[in-house]
Amino acid sequence: MALHFWPRMRHFQVPLMLVAASLAITITAVGADPIGSSATFSVAANSRSLSTSGRLARPGMPETPGDSGKYLEPAASDAEPVARQVRVLIVQDHPLLATAIARVLEGQPDLAVSGVSGSGAGALAAAAQDRPDVVLMDFRLPDVTGPEAARMIQSEHAQVAIVFHSADESETALLDAVDAGATAYLTKDATADQIVEAVRRASKGEVLIPVELFARAIRRQRAAATHKSVREQLLAEFTARERDILQLLAEGLDTASMSQRLGIAPHTVEWHVRHVIEKLQVHSKLQAVISAARQGLIEI
């Protein structure tokens, strides 16, 4: 099952796996982690390289002595202020692919690679240090799964958007990623344009998971739903209005539309949404819908 999220684009139509294979890259690793504080990556025919901290070094920005991974800012100039770039943390244990992705993202004026990690533990540390806006996450890592790493990151940095980039095209993997807070799920045959657009849209809070895909995955797992008594107990914890809100969220309605449908003020809708998210112990509206559907509270 190949997942495609956008119409065909005019540029960068070659999958990143092939781009990575075509790059002339020298990899010198010292230590066990292929992408971490002990690895150096340089890209031929490109003046920028990944530093010992796993970040892309820029010309004229030497590392501060004794402070790995941070750079001295260039001297201030009279130039016009530049809009804030979207900071992206790449979590990928394949050095060649990680470097190819970093090169593509750094080629965009509105994107900046804040770090690269090859493990879940490294990703958690990098997220704490670099405060990325988006994490581009591999599904399988040496120490934990991608969803486990995503949950660890979002438990401490709930505002970070998670975009999965995986070779696993199964519905189980897709559902696990959504449960972990994913806003997009790209397969490894995704083009550079698709990756760039996913990162941009995720940074704006957009959800790029096709509804029909995770709805089908949920229906297949409904057989494993909780017993009737547990379901009745869960239903008792939600008011009729909160169940209405959950159902409307599942239908994809925004705050204004729910306000009009239910005949209540927008701020009242938002109040109910917050309570629903808290009761389900999740972090987002999408996760609330997934959790409620899995437990039989709503129909999709």
Domain that holds residue 268: 225-294
Rg for the chain, CA atoms, rounded: 21
- pTM of structure: 0.53
Question: Which of 128, 191, 131 has its CA nearest to residue 165?
Answer: 191
Distance in angstroms (rounded) separating the CA atoms of residues 294 and 214: 11
Residues 268, 206 share a domain: no
Distance in angstroms (rounded) separating the CA atoms of residues 176 and 44: 37
Residues 285, 197 share a domain: no
CATH number (domain holding residue 270): 1.10.10.10
Distance in angstroms (rounded) separating the CA atoms of residues 48 and 70: 15
Locate 262 and state its tokens.
């239910």
Residues 144, 280 share a domain: no
pLDDT at 121 over 70: yes
Last residue of a domain, one of 182, 216, 250: 216
pLDDT tens readout for residues 4-32: 444 333 333 455 655 555 554 333 333 33
Residue 104's alpha-carbon distances to 4, 135, 196, 200, 276, in angstroms, are: 19, 15, 8, 13, 39
How many independent structural domains does the chain possess?
2
pLDDT tens readout for residues 43-84: 333 334 343 344 444 444 444 333 434 434 444 445 555 578
Last residue of a domain, one of 184, 216, 248: 216
Residues 141, 101 share a domain: yes
